[in-house]
Amino acid sequence: MKVASSLIHRLGLFTKEDIGEDEMIIELIGRRVAAAEVDALEKHYQGFGIKECFLFTVDKHDVINCTHKSNAARFANHSCKPNMEARIIKFGGKNCVIYFSLRAIKKGVFPPAIIRTCR
């Protein structure tokens, strides 16, 4: 995967090689915080003028905070017609967020890797 300019948002997640259908693509990495801390965390960011934070709810207890420290997975753009989806997978005793392809994705072809946000 690589991060590059995107027509959907400023930056997007693009493939560096062809990906088949239902393949594991990348894990979303960030700092884990307790779900109960999220409201206070968002207010903290607002106090510093940070308007966009990236918080991914893993389960009722944990949220992955990708606002400052994360990996390329945080740049997956959003779409109502996605080519990948986020799945919660238990690994090493904790729930992890892994992006899987919904269909084959060609190397470097637009659109970038995008996740479902519409219902």
Encoding tokens for residue 68? 């400052």
pLDDT class for 111, splitting at 50, 70, 90? low
* pTM score: 0.84
pLDDT in the model for residue 110:
55
DSSP 109: P
**Is the CB of residue 96 less than 8 Å from the CB of residue 90?**
yes
Average pLDDT across the chain, whole number = 87
Beta strand 62-65 with 31-34: parallel, antiparallel or unpaired?
antiparallel
- Which CATH number does the domain 2-116 belong to among 3.40.50.970, 3.90.1150.10, 3.40.50.720, 2.170.270.10? 2.170.270.10
pLDDT over 80 (residue 17)? yes
Return the domain boundaries, the chain: 2-116
Query: What are the Cα distances from residue 35, in Å, to 20, 42, 61, 106, 114?
Result: 34, 12, 5, 36, 25
